[in-house]
């Protein structure tokens, strides 16, 4: 995984100021000068992800995310692109300078592979944390992106359902483990779940602050979404004391359409059905069908590493922006600075 660098225009946008304002601040010596690299006869300016945090602190700007959000990608139907999108979503968040932790709960290791992380047979996973009582800080692995860490998956996760029922407080083991993280102050934790109803998934649901649900624009996905909401309602009732304390399970749900084809009648009809029945949860952002996303998965890298200019990458970036309300926060901060 190559480390992302930013042009002056890109960097200014992420920090939340104009390019001219950034150059003026550098000229006045109020912020560090851009890094430079010589390519032939031309000297190129660039910035790194670490610079985002430094510049925002110097400018007195609050963190993009002020408190931790644990975001679970969830759907009980397989084939919705959950793992692929969650990996690229986590990478896009980390590119904003936000300390991010990706957790793969699926023994198939799709999220792990999509982030370009090579998990070996003896690589620790959340299995060792929940079943073997290993310190969660010891199983967190670093990626080449300084703001993105990962708890990868391994094959042991395929038998975790046989072991979890024997543990005390078995539905809250993941919640307890995440509360013990001390390695970094992660502001975003992105979890990729299994595509079915399991005890491990219930652990993930109960520890999540946000549920991100990818659906395909077809009627099978629409039916599956109904089953998912029924299960969430049952869980909210069964764990009412806990959910009332931390906020309801149905309070922060983001349903988004993946692989949308605007030229297909089925896609448009499915979108209409979702808008009618799930208007309170449906994101404005839709991720269009894009072969580059599938190609990036096969290449073992997030879409932003494979082809950042493609439609799929732009839509996933827009999804991050919508869910985290990045643009809204940025406008407020720019106004504050210019006063």
Q: Is residue 304 part of a domain?
A: yes
The structural domain count of the chain equals: 2
Q: Are residues 20 and 101 in the same domain?
A: no
Q: Are residues 237 and 313 in the same domain?
A: yes
Residues forming a β-bridge with 43: 38
pLDDT of residue 85: 97
pLDDT of residue 337: 31
- Percent of the chain clearing pLDDT 90 (strictly above): 74
The whole-model pTM stands at 0.90
Domain stop point among 61, 80, 103: 61
Question: Where does the pLDDT of residue 77 fall: very low under 50, low under 70, confident under 90, or very high at 90 and above?
Answer: confident
Question: Where does the pLDDT of residue 170 fall: very low under 50, low under 70, confident under 90, or very high at 90 and above?
Answer: very high
pLDDT of residue 333: 37
Residues forming a β-bridge with 288: 260
Are 183 and 135 spatial neighbours (Cβ–Cβ below 8 Å)?
no
Q: Are residues 109 and 177 in the same domain?
A: yes
Q: Are residues 31 and 109 in the same domain?
A: no
Q: Are residues 21 and 122 in the same domain?
A: no
Are 55 and 6 spatial neighbours (Cβ–Cβ below 8 Å)?
no
Q: Are residues 17 and 141 in the same domain?
A: no
Q: Which two tokens stand for residue 81?
A: 């692109």
Using a 10 angstrom Cβ sphere, with 0-12 exposed, 13-18 middle and 19 or more buried, the burial of residue 247 is: exposed
Query: Higher model confidence: residue 93 or residue 325?
Result: 93
Question: Where does the pLDDT of residue 140 fall: very low under 50, low under 70, confident under 90, or very high at 90 and above?
Answer: very high
What's the mean pLDDT when you consider all of the chain?
90
Q: Which of 7-11, 141-145, 165-169, 324-328 has the lowest mean pLDDT?
A: 324-328
Report in angstroms the alpha-carbon separations of 248 from 18, 89, 238, 241, 282. 39, 24, 12, 10, 18
pLDDT of residue 16: 86
Q: Is residue 338 part of a domain?
A: no
Residue 120 has pLDDT above 90, yes or no: no
What are the pLDDT digits (tens) for 285-304?
A: 999 999 999 999 999 999 99
Q: Are residues 171 and 222 in the same domain?
A: yes
Q: Are residues 14 and 125 in the same domain?
A: no
- 316 Cβ partners below 8 Å, 6+ apart? 85, 88, 89, 92, 287, 303, 304
- 329 Cβ partners below 8 Å, 6+ apart? 16, 64
pLDDT of residue 82: 95
Q: Is residue 137 part of a domain?
A: yes
Residue whose tokens read 């925002």 = 56
For residue 215, give its domain range.
69-331
d(CA 317, CA 92): 6
Q: Is residue 339 part of a domain?
A: no
Residue 99 has pLDDT above 80, yes or no: yes
**What CATH number corresponds to the domain at position 31?**
1.10.1660.10
What are the pLDDT digits (tens) for 193-212?
A: 998 889 999 999 999 999 99
Q: Which of 24-28, 30-34, 59-63, 188-192 has the lowest mean pLDDT?
A: 59-63
Query: Higher model confidence: residue 121 or residue 19?
Result: 19
pLDDT of residue 12: 93
Are 152 and 109 spatial neighbours (Cβ–Cβ below 8 Å)?
yes
Q: Are residues 23 and 103 in the same domain?
A: no
Domain stop point among 61, 83, 107: 61
The single-letter DSSP state of residue 157 is G
d(CA 81, CA 64): 27
- Percent of the chain clearing pLDDT 70 (strictly above): 94
Could you tell me which of 295, 292, 260 has the C-alpha nearest to residue 274? 260
Q: Is residue 108 part of a domain?
A: yes
**Radius of gyration of the chain from Cα atoms?**
21
Using a 10 angstrom Cβ sphere, with 0-12 exposed, 13-18 middle and 19 or more buried, the burial of residue 230 is: exposed
Q: Is residue 336 part of a domain?
A: no
Using a 10 angstrom Cβ sphere, with 0-12 exposed, 13-18 middle and 19 or more buried, the burial of residue 296 is: buried
Are 11 and 52 spatial neighbours (Cβ–Cβ below 8 Å)?
yes
Question: Where does the pLDDT of residue 334 fall: very low under 50, low under 70, confident under 90, or very high at 90 and above?
Answer: very low
Q: Is residue 337 part of a domain?
A: no
Q: Are residues 126 and 258 in the same domain?
A: yes
Question: Where does the pLDDT of residue 237 fall: very low under 50, low under 70, confident under 90, or very high at 90 and above?
Answer: confident
**What CATH number corresponds to the domain at position 218?**
3.40.50.300
pLDDT average, residue stretch 91-98: 94
H or E element: which one contains 85? helix 82-94
Are 124 and 139 spatial neighbours (Cβ–Cβ below 8 Å)?
yes
Q: Are residues 237 and 275 in the same domain?
A: yes
Q: Are residues 87 and 21 in the same domain?
A: no
Domain stop point among 23, 43, 61: 61
């Amino acid at each position: 995984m190559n480390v992302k660098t930013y042009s002056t225009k890109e960097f200014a946008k992420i920090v939340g100021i104009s390019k001219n304002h950034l150059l003026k601040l550098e000229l006045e010596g109020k912020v560090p000068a851009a890094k430079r690299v010589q390519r032939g006869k031309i000297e190129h300016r660039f910035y790194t992800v670490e610079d985002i945090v430094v510049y925002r602190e110097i400018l007195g700007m609050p963190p993009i995310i002020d408190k931790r959000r644990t975001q679970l990608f969830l759907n009980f139907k397989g084939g919705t692109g959950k793992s692929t999108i969650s990996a690229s979503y986590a990478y896009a968040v980390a590119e904003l300078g936000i300390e991010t932790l990706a957790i793969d709960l699926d023994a198939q290791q799709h999220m792990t592979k999509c982030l370009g992380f090579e998990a070996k047979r003896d690589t620790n996973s959340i299995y060792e944390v929940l079943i073997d009582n290993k310190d969660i800080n010891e199983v967190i692995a670093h990626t080449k992106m300084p703001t993105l860490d990962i708890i990868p998956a391994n094959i042991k996760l395929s038998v975790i359902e046989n072991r979890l029922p024997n543990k005390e407080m078995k539905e809250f083991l993941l919640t307890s483990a995440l509360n013990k993280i001390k390695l970094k102050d992660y502001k975003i934790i992105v979890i990729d779940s299994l595509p079915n109803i399991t005890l491990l998934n219930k652990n993930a649901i109960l520890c999540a602050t946000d549920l991100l649900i990818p659906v395909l624009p077809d009627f099978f996905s629409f039916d599956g979404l109904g089953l998912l909401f029924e299960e969430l309602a049952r869980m909210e009732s069964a764990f009412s004391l806990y959910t009332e304390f931390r906020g309801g399970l149905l309070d922060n749900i983001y349903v988004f359409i993946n692989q949308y084809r605007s030229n297909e009648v089925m896609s448009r009809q499915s979108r209409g059905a979702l808008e009618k029945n799930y208007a309170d949860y449906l994101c404005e952002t839709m991720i269009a069908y894009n072969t580059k996303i599938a190609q990036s998965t096969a290449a073992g890298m997030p879409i932003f590493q494979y082809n950042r200019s493609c439609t799929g990458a732009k839509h996933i970036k827009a999804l991050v922006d919508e869910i985290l309300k990045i643009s809204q926060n940025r406008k407020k901060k720019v106004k504050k600075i210019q006063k």
